Chain A
């Protein structure tokens, strides 16, 4: 209340980083970075994938120690040896990928490692889950989350899990909140809620650092932004609350994009309007529970977007199509081959490819190297294994290097574990390896999650290229802008059924919205 109303640009500095550097072997993730965040402001951190944003914030959160540099919090020089130190200084952070333990409940996750009782009490007292649950409920109510504190985390939707992460960061009473791409996995309404929450927190005097690749939200929320490239600060800008002319805002946006990726915002490539015969044809498919029955056709040369509020059957659709779940009834036909009873591996061999939504859960194996993660696309080893007794390491390494080159993945070496890649670069690796299957049907779930503007455009280009060569793409995306810019046709899912269908050319946002929320049917009744 005090800060936002009285301009944050004159407020005292809450966090001051001076000359922070960090290398990982030859990779210089941070090069002498100076950053000052004013009390009660929302400070944006922009930059391409691998620019060093997460690294810098992990340093501030005590997860990594800088090679050099000073950290001041509230004007006081501090050394952060561990996350506990950072928490004690009132810093909370939401990581880029989820850090919840699925088998524990929300309340258990929240109090994990946060015991503030004495050593003896910690061992002797019963864990007070009830009061933790009550507190969680209160907090979640106050923030308007509506999360059941006793639900197991692995039963929650991605959006809900993101909210739990935020609860967790705020749990210890953080006065500075760092959010690393918090909206990458959120649907637009959930993101809206988060924006409102951030504004509320800001009004309460919380200082917020927001990392994001979504320029609109940066423009909307932040008071000031810092742009990183190659580990160094390349620019800073104040974001005015009011513009004299809309052109001014656009000019600023364009400038930020240039700073970030070193060129102008890439255009969505034009595409041919040639349509080939049907590639995927789904008839009467249902999982015997809450999904289906549905009919769905995707033609070659078509990008079909599946939209809907999260948890309305999109996940089941993917599982059924990929054979991760058995269909109770119905049939799936891929180019005249009935694959309903085929295994996942056979489906891949038939020409499917899958970019999973949950990168750490389904797409990469954290402990394995970049080479191994690239060859996950070929678990039967076929292209690299002349016989079942020999898997050529050299060919796999060359393949990984090829993917890295094509999709501009930033990796220090192909031998390094995949966790040494930045989040966006892991995503690029996954997209690249799935495209290398030369799929006839690509199932792309949030393919540009966590990608910077340039890389997202490259992925769009690749998907459109696939489509222009006669492939079919099934796009599942929460980002309606993405849907409108690359999809040819949109189907809307609600409660496991298809409730609406339209071509992108004459799509109407309101109509799609009413399909998604079900208002449409209610008024008909």
Chain B
């Protein structure tokens, strides 16, 4: 063996200590990181078109799936309307008129959409890491409680207090997800079980906190905390309605979640772990750490949903302020196919359902619980999506069969291989 110190490759002893080491084949790196000279700026539009073209396949498919699912759920609920003894047209006009018929109605729908959107994002983020966080309801309650308590007891400038309250809500939600996260990461306890149990804890804690003898109960109102100062509440953004700045918070959360998931190393790690945990581990991702991060992020979003509700709508924490947003959020996330934009659309749909349910009861005489039926149907149809998509693609196949002329057969440069000289006769 010839030892040759001169030509020996440089030692990389120190590499292990550096935090963000770039270790990459220099040629490949130059290739990948060079400024894009092959495509001059003038070609920006064609590039954009091409980009859209490659995307549209999947985006179009997703929109179609979304629409089909909703349509199927609505169609399936028609017989139920009939069973409830109501007239179809009356029901439809009452429902859509109530949800979208006027400015104030739309505003009310958007108000309903805010908690569903943020909580749906919370569920979706966990799903991206292949974690099923059913505990969003609990995180939302606890986050709301923390935000309400902080808002009622901290004495700082109102604008600052608002931000502190939102952050406190997020931290509260994250803390509430911490126990399931630790159990999952280090003990393998399934997060579905632990987060469900934490929901019960959350309800109990919330009720205790504002019970008649509880530590945070308001003097003037049972089962609630003291009011958050007016200035620290989320301002109304549509005069004359209840629509508050929580909508902007929610949309900001969508933008941030999209960016983090698809445009940061952390989001990439999260999605990789969700797509193939073993591959993620083999490529150097710590599954434990990633599990904790994903569940904490999900919990923080859940807590934010609660805080926004408390700061925007009620101005104080009520023990029973959530009619089950955290559970509807699961349907929202699934209907939205886990994509943040999809979650926006799905939460809007569910908000329409909720907002329309009030006039539905008043005018058409159909119980509000009907909304629960429809959302159950949506979940069922989401579960049936693979089968439906298969059906659709089979139908498409047929169309292709009929319309596309056969590929002109390629010239076959068929070579006669003279192989078996002794043809068995």
Say if A and B assemble together. yes
When the two chains form their complex, are residues A436 and B279 in contact, meaning their CB atoms are under 8 A apart? Answer: no
When the two chains form their complex, are residues A238 and B406 in contact, meaning their CB atoms are under 8 A apart? Answer: no
When the two chains form their complex, are residues A379 and B420 in contact, meaning their CB atoms are under 8 A apart? Answer: no
When the two chains form their complex, are residues B410 and A31 in contact, meaning their CB atoms are under 8 A apart? Answer: yes
What residue of chain B has the Cβ atom nearest to residue A466's Cβ? Answer: B25
A263 to B21, CA, bound (A): 41
Interface residues of B in 10-24 (CB under 8 A from A): 11-13, 15-16, 18, 20-24
The stretch of B98-106, B166-174, B215-223, B282-290 in contact with A is B282-290
A383 proximal to B (CB < 8 A) = yes
Task: Tell which of B3, B9, B18 has the most Cβ of chain A within 10 Å.
Answer: B9
Task: Tell which of B8, B20, B265 has the most Cβ of chain A within 10 Å.
Answer: B265
With A380-B265, A436-B24, A437-B23: A345-B284 Cβ-Cβ less than 8 Å: yes
Contact with B along A453-475 (1 / 0, CB 8 A): 00000000000000001110000
Contacts of B278 in A (CB 8 A): 361-362
A129 to B262, CA, bound (A): 45
With A235-B414, A342-B16: A383-B32 Cβ-Cβ less than 8 Å: yes
When the two chains form their complex, are residues A368 and B36 in contact, meaning their CB atoms are under 8 A apart? Answer: no
With A232-B410, A232-B412, A240-B419: A365-B276 Cβ-Cβ less than 8 Å: yes
When the two chains form their complex, are residues B415 and A440 in contact, meaning their CB atoms are under 8 A apart? Answer: no
Task: Tell me, rounded to whole Å, the shortest Cβ–Cβ distance linking B284 to chain A.
Answer: 3
Contacts of A19 in B (CB 8 A): 406, 409
Q: Which of B36, B262, B267, B284 contacts A398 (CB 8 A)?
A: B36
With A31-B407, A335-B13, A361-B278: A234-B284 Cβ-Cβ less than 8 Å: no
When the two chains form their complex, are residues B15 and A351 in contact, meaning their CB atoms are under 8 A apart? Answer: yes
With A335-B12, A367-B275: A379-B285 Cβ-Cβ less than 8 Å: yes
Task: Tell me, rounded to whole Å, the shortest Cβ–Cβ distance linking A209 to chain B.
Answer: 19
With A65-B397, A393-B263, A470-B8: A234-B25 Cβ-Cβ less than 8 Å: no
Contacts of B23 in A (CB 8 A): 348-349, 351, 382, 437-438
A275 proximal to B (CB < 8 A) = yes
Task: Tell which of B7, B284, B286 has the most Cβ of chain A within 10 Å.
Answer: B284
The stretch of A87-95, A111-119, A158-166, A370-378 in contact with B is A370-378
A363 to B272, CA, bound (A): 11
Contact with A along B272-306 (1 / 0, CB 8 A): 10011011111111100000000000000000000
A388 to B36, CA, bound (A): 22
Contacts of B412 in A (CB 8 A): 232-234
Contact with B along A400-423 (1 / 0, CB 8 A): 001100100000010100000000
A209 to B1, CA, bound (A): 49
When the two chains form their complex, are residues A343 and B275 in contact, meaning their CB atoms are under 8 A apart? Answer: no
Contacts of A31 in B (CB 8 A): 407, 409-410
When the two chains form their complex, are residues B265 and A391 in contact, meaning their CB atoms are under 8 A apart? Answer: yes
Contact with B along A322-359 (1 / 0, CB 8 A): 10100000000001110100111111111100101000
Q: How many residues of B contact A (CB 8 A)?
A: 70
Task: Tell me, rounded to whole Å, the shortest Cβ–Cβ distance linking B394 to chain A.
Answer: 8
Contacts of B20 in A (CB 8 A): 380, 382
A415 to B53, CA, bound (A): 11
Contacts of A347 in B (CB 8 A): 284
Task: Tell me, rounded to whole Å, the shortest Cβ–Cβ distance linking A65 to chain B.
Answer: 5
Task: Tell me, rounded to whole Å, the shortest Cβ–Cβ distance linking A463 to chain B.
Answer: 14
When the two chains form their complex, are residues B413 and A32 in contact, meaning their CB atoms are under 8 A apart? Answer: no
Task: Tell which of A337, A349, A471 has the most Cβ of chain B within 10 Å.
Answer: A349
Task: Tell me, rounded to whole Å, the shortest Cβ–Cβ distance linking B55 to chain A.
Answer: 7
Contacts of B420 in A (CB 8 A): 238-240
Contacts of B21 in A (CB 8 A): 349, 380, 382
A7 proximal to B (CB < 8 A) = yes
B269 proximal to A (CB < 8 A) = yes
Task: Tell which of B55, B266, B282, B404 has the most Cβ of chain A within 10 Å.
Answer: B282
B4 proximal to A (CB < 8 A) = yes
When the two chains form their complex, are residues B279 and A376 in contact, meaning their CB atoms are under 8 A apart? Answer: yes
Contact with B along A69-92 (1 / 0, CB 8 A): 000000000000100000000000
B400 proximal to A (CB < 8 A) = yes
Contacts of A137 in B (CB 8 A): none
What residue of chain A has the Cβ atom nearest to residue B13's Cβ? Answer: A337
Task: Tell me, rounded to whole Å, the shortest Cβ–Cβ distance linking B281 to chain A.
Answer: 6
A501 proximal to B (CB < 8 A) = no
When the two chains form their complex, are residues B265 and A379 in contact, meaning their CB atoms are under 8 A apart? Answer: yes
When the two chains form their complex, are residues B265 and A276 in contact, meaning their CB atoms are under 8 A apart? Answer: no
Contacts of A305 in B (CB 8 A): none
Contacts of B32 in A (CB 8 A): 383-384, 395-396, 398-399, 402
Show 14 residue pairs from A and B whose CB-CB distance is below 8 angstroms, ordered by the A residue: A68-B407, A233-B412, A239-B419, A322-B282, A342-B16, A351-B12, A366-B276, A379-B283, A381-B268, A399-B28, A413-B54, A437-B23, A440-B12, A469-B9
Top 3 nearest A-B pairs (CB, nearest first) are A381-B265, A345-B284, A365-B275
Q: List the interface of chain A (C-beta within 8 A of B).
A: 7, 9, 19, 21, 23, 25, 28, 31-32, 65, 67-68, 81, 230-240, 242, 244, 248, 252, 255-256, 259, 274-277, 299-300, 322, 324, 335-337, 339, 342-351, 354, 356, 361-368, 372, 375-385, 388-391, 393-396, 398-399, 402-403, 406, 413, 415, 435-438, 440, 469-471
